[in-house]
Amino acid sequence: MPVFFIHSKDVGNGVVRIIDPLLSHISKSLRAKPGDSLLFNDDQGQRYHTSVTQITKHVLEATIQQIEDPPRTTHPPVILAQALLKGEKMGWVIQKATELGVSAICPLITDRVILKLSGTQEDTHRARWNRIAVEAAQQSERWTLPTILPLQTFQQFLQTPQHSQLIFMAERAEGVSLLTIPCPTEKPEAGVTVIIGPEGGWSAEELDAAQSHNWAFASFGKTILRAETASLAALAILQARFTA
């Protein structure tokens, strides 16, 4: 069952009240009717198990039957810093990364990025990426939504103070396996950021800059993966390590 994200102001007196645009999606796309069970997560982290009592053109009301608190987080948050990918690939990575539990996604402009965005295009793409993340979080029954961070250049990213361990995934570069690279496991606040390059790979200057910042280099061995494949492979490996 998908979980729908709402604001805490939509909850009161034991009832969840929904208006458009979520109302249209639930009533028209899902064809919800009185008596149906729905799950809602609010911005305070609580999950509401509800039963629909009324649906009109203007509002959906659902009676709260159970309130769940979020589960205790036992592994560090994971941030994906992803170089922009062309076509539908970026949206696909955001969708799958959301399903794999990332806490945030930072789109990067690197030397060999093919996709170029103007200010207006960036706003349009970011709005679309947020919609994709919301839909993926609903489908996968996540407790929280990932944050889609503002687009930044690789140089800007270099200058940003980091509060997490940085893992730099690089093809044809010396690096340890992602299965064995040291990662925080008992300090959820520390976090891990995994950085994935574009379709054309990293430039020599970017590799040098990452080394000068003492980022931990990791690889998938001799296999060269597509950028979108590398992102999901890295996240899947980290998720397996943290949930084992």
pLDDT of residue 104: 95
CATH H-level, domain 3-68: superfamily: Hypothetical PUA domain-like; domain 1 (2.40.240.20)
Instruction: Report the C-alpha gap between 139 and 95 in whole angstroms.
Output: 10
Instruction: Report the C-alpha gap between 160 and 154 in whole angstroms.
Output: 10
Strand partners, 47: 41, 68
For tokens 């606040």, the residue is 189
H-assigned helices in 100-196: 119-139, 154-159
Q: Strand, coil or helix: what is 50? A: strand
The domain limits of the chain are 3-68, 78-243
Q: Are 38 and 26 in contact (CB under 8 A)?
A: yes
Q: Are 79 and 90 in contact (CB under 8 A)?
A: no
Q: Are 114 and 200 in contact (CB under 8 A)?
A: yes
Is 78-243 the same fold as 3-68? no
pLDDT tens digits for the chain (244 residues)? 789 999 999 999 999 999 988 999 898 888 999 999 999 999 988 999 999 999 999 999 999 999 999 888 778 899 999 999 988 999 999 999 999 999 999 999 999 987 777 777 888 889 999 999 999 999 999 999 999 999 999 999 988 877 788 999 987 766 688 888 887 766 666 789 999 999 889 999 999 999 998 899 998 887 888 999 999 999 999 988 887 6
Instruction: Report the C-alpha gap between 111 and 150 in whole angstroms.
Output: 18
CATH match of 78-243 with 3.40.1280.10: yes
Instruction: Report the C-alpha gap between 129 and 97 in whole angstroms.
Output: 12
Q: Which residue type sits at 205?
A: E
| Per-position DSSP letters for 171-217, written without gaps between them | TTS--EETTTS---SS-TTT-EEEEE--TT---HHHHHHHHHTTPEE
Which residue, among 98, 94, 160, has the nearest Cα to 126 in the 3D structure? 94
Q: Are 81 and 97 in contact (CB under 8 A)?
A: no
pLDDT of residue 186: 63
Strand partners, 196: 82
For tokens 């280099």, the residue is 217
